[in-house]
């Protein structure tokens, strides 16, 4: 039981395994990382899947050795929708400042400085952070400076 992200591929893998071994059926419930950790810790399932590794506290609560095996890899891609569709570049610190609410306008000096030749001087429209489920364990693949600053903003982004 656990993360929803790997469910489609797990479903295919388990179906193929069942064809080779008809006496074995694997029933994976995609109930979310937290649910998978809870069920694994309670030992109601043989394995769990999460978007990121369990914390030390979660491992301790499991009361037995835990083996983390990466099985599926995905990525998070920040996207933007700006009138005129300019091709913008972002750095880790700039993305972090957007998620922290420190950059609130598209013509912010930090965005302009890494996008020479892109006209943003008249675009004082608001940067609206629609992160939603973006902030979760799946932040693991992001550059470390984004993750560090993003974690500071968890409460603000999730509200």
**For the residues 86-114, what does the mean pLDDT come to?**
88
Note the pLDDT tens digit of each residue in 119-138: 886 667 788 776 654 445 55
Percent of the chain scored above 90 by pLDDT?
A: 46
| Angle in degrees, CA 2, 135, 6, rounded to 5 | 30
66-88 confidence digits (pLDDT tens) = 899 999 988 778 888 887 768 89
- Confidence (pLDDT) at 95: 86
- Could you report the per-residue pLDDT of 42-65, keeping only the tens digit for each? 999 999 999 888 989 999 999 988
Listed in sequence order, the DSSP H helices in the chain are 7-20, 33-41, 56-62, 92-100, 109-113, 144-152, 154-158
d(CA 144, CA 111): 20
Number of helices (H), then strands (E), in the chain: 7, 0
Contact 150, 139 (CB under 8 A): yes
The single residue listed with the structure tokens 């979660």 is: 58
Spell out the domain ranges in the chain: 7-62, 92-158
- Helices 144-152 and 92-100, interaxial angle, to 10°? 10
Q: Kindly report the backbone phi and psi dihedral angles of residue 2, in degrees, each rounded to the nearest multiple of 5, phi listed first.
A: 150, -140
């Amino acid at each position: 039981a656990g993360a929803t992200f790997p469910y489609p591929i797990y479903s295919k893998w388990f179906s193929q395994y069942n064809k080779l071994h008809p006496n074995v059926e694997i029933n994976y419930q995609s109930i979310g990382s937290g649910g998978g950790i809870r069920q694994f810790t309670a030992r109601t399932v043989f394995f769990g899947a999460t978007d990121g590794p369990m914390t030390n506290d979660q491992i301790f609560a499991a009361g037995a050795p835990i083996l983390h095996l990466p099985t599926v890899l995905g990525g998070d891609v920040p996207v933007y929708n700006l009138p005129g569709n300019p091709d913008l570049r972002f750095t880790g610190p700039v993305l972090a400042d957007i998620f922290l609410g420190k950059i609130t306008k598209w013509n912010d000096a930090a965005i302009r400085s890494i996008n020479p030749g892109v006209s943003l001087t008249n675009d004082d429209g608001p940067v609206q952070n629609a992160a939603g489920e973006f902030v979760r364990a799946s932040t693991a693949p992001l550059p470390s400076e984004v993750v560090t600053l993003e974690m500071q903003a968890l409460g603000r982004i999730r509200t």
